[in-house]
């Protein structure tokens, strides 16, 4: 059993369903064992009480508006690029709080995204990227909380949900 936890943003249900459906369409079935997600931290210790306490504290706020601003082809897959100054501020606040436990990847500036295709050939990624770009118009979604997950060397197991509220 892994002792690593992952922290993600929780999306409104309608958009969770929307992006899950895109993953069903475009993600290779053998590798699609996760729902669509927006990862904030990839590798935090599982049994560290200060992490849960910090998450409880930072959710004392309203939901976060995110703009789905574009579609990225990253070579072996496709993701939707998200933009939010509010999210960047929250992420920096969490980076400071989690500093003792951060790995190099989690110390980087946040580049929020939702992956809908991965682990495919460059040709397939280019095809899906072009297909999605064809009628893409930027839109907004709301993040309604934070979620933690136990990393299971592939799949993730839900641990806790921290809804945003004022």
Does residue 67 surpass a pLDDT of 80?
yes
Res 56: pLDDT: 96
Its domain, for residue 151, covers 4-163
Integer Cα distance of 139 and 143 in angstroms: 13
Q: Give 154's pLDDT tier (boundaries 50, 70, 90).
A: confident
* Beta strand extents in 1-57 (DSSP E only): 4-11, 38-45
Instruction: Please say if the pLDDT value at position 15 is more than 90.
Output: yes
Backbone angles phi, psi at 87, to 5 degrees: -65, -40
Buried b (16+ CB within 10 A) or exposed e, 117-135: bbebeeebbebbbeebeee
Average pLDDT of the chain, as a whole number: 96
Residue 85 has pLDDT above 80, yes or no: yes
Read off the pLDDT of each residue in 86-115 and give the average, rounded to a whole number: 97
Domain total in the chain: 1
Closest CA to 145 of 51, 53, 64: 64
What's the whole-model pTM score? 0.95
Q: Write the CATH number for 65.
A: 3.90.1140.10
Q: Does position 1 have pLDDT exceeding 60, yes or no?
A: no
Confidence of residue 47 (pLDDT cuts 50, 70, 90): confident
Per-residue CA distances from 27 to 22, 76, 93, 96 (Å): 8, 11, 33, 34
The pLDDT of 55-67, averaged and rounded, is: 96
CB contact set of 140 (below 8 Å; sequence gap of 6+):
65, 66, 67, 68
Q: Which helix (H) or strand (E) holds 129?
A: helix 122-133
Percentage with pLDDT > 90 across the chain: 95
């Amino acid at each position: 059993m892994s002792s690593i936890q992952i922290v993600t943003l929780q999306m409104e249900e309608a958009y969770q369903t929307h992006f899950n459906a895109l993953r069903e369409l475009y993600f290779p079935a053998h590798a699609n064992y996760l729902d669509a997600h927006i990862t904030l931290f990839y590798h935090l210790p599982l049994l560290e009480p200060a992490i849960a306490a910090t998450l409880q504290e930072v959710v004392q706020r309203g939901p976060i508006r995110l703009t789905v601003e574009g579609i990225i082809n990253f070579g072996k897959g496709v993701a939707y690029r998200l933009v939010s100054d509010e999210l960047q501020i929250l992420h920096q606040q969490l980076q400071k709080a989690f500093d003792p436990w951060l790995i190099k990847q989690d110390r980087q500036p946040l580049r929020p995204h939702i992956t809908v295709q991965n682990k495919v050939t460059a040709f397939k990624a280019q095809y899906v990227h072009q297909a999605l770009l064809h009628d893409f118009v930027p839109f907004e979604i709301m993040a309604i909380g934070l979620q933690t997950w136990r990393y299971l060397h592939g799949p993730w197991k839900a641990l806790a949900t921290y809804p945003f509220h004022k």
